[in-house]
Each structure stands twice: as C-alpha cells, then as structure tokens.
Structure 1
Amino acid sequence: MNKASNPFFEFIQVNREELINKWTDRMKDLDDQKNLTVISDKLYTNICNEYFNIVLTNVNSLGEEVTSKIEYFSQKIVQLGWSLKYISTGLSELNKILFEMMTVNNTEEEKMNLVWAFDKWIAPINSEVLHQYASSWERTVSLQKIALQELSAPLIPVFDNITVMPLVGTIDTERAKRIMENILQGVVKHRAEVVLIDITGVPVVDTMVAHHIIQASEAVRLVGAKCLLVGIRPEIAQTIVNLGIDLSQVITKNSLQKGIESALEMTNRQIVSMEE
C-alpha cells in the first residue's frame, strides 16, 4: 500500500494535531493518579507524537527503519513504567478516535474498506509495538534480577581478615545457594579469617533459613575460617528456641558491633579508646 492509495496517510498528516490532542486526553484519562503526578502533559504529547512518526514512516511494510523506531519507542514506554495493558488499551483508544473522525459521514461499505486498510497498515505496527514492548520488558526484568542477585548477598571486608555479609529480606533456596557461593569465594578472595553473617534485616528465621545458615557456617569452617551469626533480635531468638533449632555449633551475637568486637579478638586485635 503506497501513500497515494492509503486513506489514513493524508488524514493523519492533515489532522495530526487534533488526533494527538484527543489521544493525549484519552491516555491521561486511562492513566492512574500515581503516573499523573510525575508525568507531564508534554511527555504524553511527545509519546503520541513519536508514535505518529512511526505510523507515517511505515508506508509499505515493516522495514528495518520502522522496526528500529518501534524498538526505541517500546524501550521508552517501558522506562516510563507503563503496563502492557495500559499500552494495549491506549492503542485501541487511538483506533477509536481515528475511526470516529474519519467515518463521520461514511457509508457502511466505506467503513469496511477503512477496516481493511487499517489491518493492512496500522495493525501490524501496533502488533510490533506490543511485541517489542514485551521483549524490552523481559530484558529489563532479567537485568534487574541479575543486579538484585549480585546485591542480595554481598561479602564486605571491614578489617584485615574480617568480612561481613549483611542479609536483608527473605531467604529462599536459590538465594541461599548464592549466599554460600559468595561466602566461599569471598573468604578466599579477601583471605578472611572471620566471617560475620548479619541477619538483622531478615524478617523471619525458620528451620529452612537456620539450616542454610548452619550449612554456610560449616562451609566457612571447612575452608579454614570462622563464622559468627550476628543480629539475632529477641523475637528471632524466641522463634529459634520454640522451633528447637540447634545453633550450638555457631557463634552468635545479638548485634553487629558485638560481632566485630569478637572478630577482632579472634584475630588478636581489640578496639581501644585514645585519650586526648
């Protein structure tokens, strides 16, 4: 389909500003209040305008240039945090606006011809937008997951031969495996003699979590270092007792400060105050 035979091309060019204004208003109506407070009217207009640039570029088929523009466009709306449902509904609203404006005085036959032309020209673009959106979202989520995994169990050197692993949030089997890997790699990398596992930020310590902690402590011992479990709050201590969890083989302290003091003693050092 070329420009001359395309009923939408000239109409969109002539009525572009009105279409964008109406579509922007519909998109804002569809959006929730959270986005409305952080997204300006100009940004909505820019997104709608960019979409029409793609539509007017696509004359015959989805070539490399159009696909590239759609990919960039999809990445942008993913970064805005717009959901797939919101984008899909927004594109449907544009379809309604376009047909409402184009078929005010049309016969049923003329309307059907427009439907056919729409399927040939704009529908493939919308389909590709949704496809690229889904792909971009999957890539984003995958990268975020990798970043969170890397940050979920860091081993931090605080003194020579002393490292701390602060844990925050729940611990499942997959995360426990990463904790074990990071501890063993970190002990070797930092030549740690003492490792402190800080569970201050772990909301629940059940039998599974305790089992993973005991395993980590044993693994540290096998590579020639000592392990301290710190940050045991009163409610966590009560849970451990009630569940009958045996942590007798693990050195425990109620705070990170106490743990560091013990770790310094284990490495023949201590904290002393300097009098002026």
Structure 2
Amino acid sequence: MDEKLKSIVLEHSDDIVKMWLEEVNNHKKSDYTATISDELFESTNREFVNVIFASLERQGLSSDMDDFSERLINLGWPLSYLTDGMQVFRRVITEFILSRSDQIDSEYFSKVLRKVDDWVDPVINRLVNEFSGSWEHIVSLQRVALQELSAPLIPVMDDITIMPLVGTIDTERAKLIMENLLDGVIKHNAEVVLIDITGVPVVDTMVAHHIIQAAEAVRLVGSRCILVGIRPEIAQTIVNLGIDLGKFPTKSSLRKGFKAALELTNRTIEETQTNVKDIENLVDSLNRE
C-alpha cells in the first residue's frame, strides 16, 4: 500500500502542486506575506514544493532543505511560513489520495493519515531544525557584533581616550565594559579615560556601582577616569540614591570633560586669531593654480 500511495502522489504531482499553490496563495492577502512581491512569493512557493517532492522521490531528506531554510532566513521570512505550508501540504495530499479511492472505510482512512504523517513529519522536523539552527547562528553572530560595539574605547589624543556608552547596562555588559576599558587603557597607554554616559537612559544603583568599579580599576592601573554626560535627572537620581561619585571627577558634557582631561595631561586649548586677508590671499592663489 505504501508504494501504491506514493505512486499516486508522484504521478499526480502537478495536480497536487496546483492545489497546494492555490491554498497558499489564498493566505497571502491576510498574513505576513502580504507585503512580499508576487514574483518572489511565487518563486519561493515553487522552490518549497519542489523541496518537498524531492524528499518523497529520493525516499529521504535532501540537502536542498538546508539551503532552502537558510535562504528563507536571509529573506527575513518567519518560521510559520514553513510550518503553515507543510500543514497545507498535509491536508492537500490527504484529500487528494482519498478522492482517488473508492475505499472510504475508517481503516483505509487511518492508513492514509499515518502514511502522510510519515512523509510530512520528517520534512517538517528537518526544515524547522535547520531553520532554527541557522537562525541561532545568525543571532549569535549579531550578539558578538553588538558586544564589540557596545563598549568601544576610542583614542582621541595622546594619553586621552573616550568610552561612549549607549543603552542599558546590565551585569554582562558591565563585565565587557570593564575588560575593554582595562585592555584599552594599557594598549593605548592612556593617562585619562573619559566615560561618557550621555546615551545611558537610566543610572540606578547597579549601574553606578559598575561605573565606580570601572573607575577604580582604571586608577589601579595608573590612569585617571572622568565621568561625563551627567544630565540633571541623572544627577538627581544619584543624589537620591546616596551614591558617592566623589572619588573621581564628573562633568556635565563631553566637551567639559575633554578640557579637564587636557589639564590633567598638562595641556590647554589656546585660541588663535586668523588673519582673514591671509586666508583670502591663500584661496586666490589656490584658484589660480
């Protein structure tokens, strides 16, 4: 019976594909695929059903499924597209087999359902596993990339570096900040480090504690730390929480912090007067050349 059912499916694959495509296309108007172009939707559906029938013909799961799942992720399609499509295929193929038979008793019906499940379930499991594995891999790479960008240490001048912080600071990120800060201070031989918290939305006891630890660690390796970006609401929060930030300087803006860093490294900003006439003469000479 197994071979008989399979031969029915394969011999009438064109009819089954047509029925499947009609049902899948009917869903397009009301679900997440509504914004996808008709051409892309049609080509993806064709590839999907080809992958399914390839597994039936080869009597096993093909590597095409892995490639198909990866392409769906790159296209940004959700996992539900695979699961919904396979459930539609299960229903279509079951109805088609039953419609081709004069035998309608419950035993035959149960055998058809079991056989269709034997075909469809391994395909669903393989597609879902490959999709999930590829997705987890991409998420892992994105997490690493975000971590690398979450606590950069930027050398802006000899002996002076800046660490701009943006977003929420949790325990894991605080550990990364500490590691990058100490490694960067030693690597760039920095005397002063500016920690800019302008982009940190909330400074609570835990965040302040991590910042104090980072500043203390910088001091232990022979450098000095200046905390900049203290907005009025953050200053009020720090005072209300009773947090002591008196061990290292704080400034309201990066500009003020940078000026303080220059003073700590025995440098100052000198204002110069430029002769406008000299600039005009220089521009004229460049234009003549």
Where on the TM-score scale, by shorter chain, does this alignment land: which range? 0.7 to 0.9
The letter for the 1-side match of 2:40 is L
The letter for the 1-side match of 2:92 is I
- Residue 96 of structure 1, CA deviation: 2.4
The letter for the 2-side match of 1:48 is N
Q: Deviations over 1:36-95 (max 9, x none)?
A: 33x2122222221111221222224335xx1x2111111122233333345323321232
Relative to the length of structure 2, the TM-score reads 0.84
- Residue 21 of structure 1, CA deviation: 3.8
Larger Rg: 2
- Residue 30 of structure 1, CA deviation: 5.5
Q: Give the corresponding residue for 1:22.
A: 23
1:52, 1:134 → 2: CA distance?
20
Aligned pairs, how many?
269
Relative to the length of structure 1, the TM-score reads 0.88
The letter for the 1-side match of 2:75 is L
The letter for the 1-side match of 2:42 is T
Percent identity of equivalent pairs: 49
Contact 1:7 1:117 in 2 (8 A): no
Which of the numbers 40, 43, 48 marks the counterpart of 2:37?
Answer: 40
Label 1:8 to 1:218 Cα distance change in 2 as closer, same or farther (>3 A): same
2:198, 2:244 → 1: CA distance?
19
Structure 1 stretch displaced more, 167-176 or 179-188: 167-176
Q: Give the corresponding residue for 2:49.
A: 52
Which of the numbers 69, 74, 78 marks the counterpart of 1:83?
Answer: 78
Q: Give the corresponding residue for 1:108.
A: 104
Structure 1 stretch displaced more, 261-270 or 190-199: 261-270
Label 1:111 to 1:44 Cα distance change in 2 as closer, same or farther (>3 A): farther
Counterparts in 2 of 1:1-276, with a 5 A limit?
5-26=6-27, 28-29=28-29, 31-32=31-32, 36-37=34-35, 39-58=36-55, 59-63=57-61, 66=62, 68-104=63-99, 106=101, 107-109=103-105, 111-276=109-274
1:122, 1:6 → 2: CA distance?
16
Contact 1:3 1:9 in 2 (8 A): no
Contact 1:155 1:186 in 2 (8 A): yes
SS at match of 2:12: helix
- Gaps of at least 5 residues in structure 1 are none
Q: In angstroms, what is the RMSD of aligned CA positions?
A: 2.3
The letter for the 1-side match of 2:90 is N
SS at match of 1:36: helix
Structure 1 stretch displaced more, 17-26 or 240-249: 17-26
Contact 1:153 1:166 in 2 (8 A): yes
Label 1:79 to 1:5 Cα distance change in 2 as closer, same or farther (>3 A): closer
Contact 1:166 1:197 in 2 (8 A): yes
- Residue 118 of structure 1, CA deviation: 1.8
2:6, 2:89 → 1: CA distance?
21
1:165, 1:274 → 2: CA distance?
30
The letter for the 1-side match of 2:39 is K
- Gaps of at least 5 residues in structure 2 are 275-289
- Residue 19 of structure 1, CA deviation: 2.9
Structure 1 stretch displaced more, 226-235 or 258-267: 258-267
2:262, 2:7 → 1: CA distance?
79
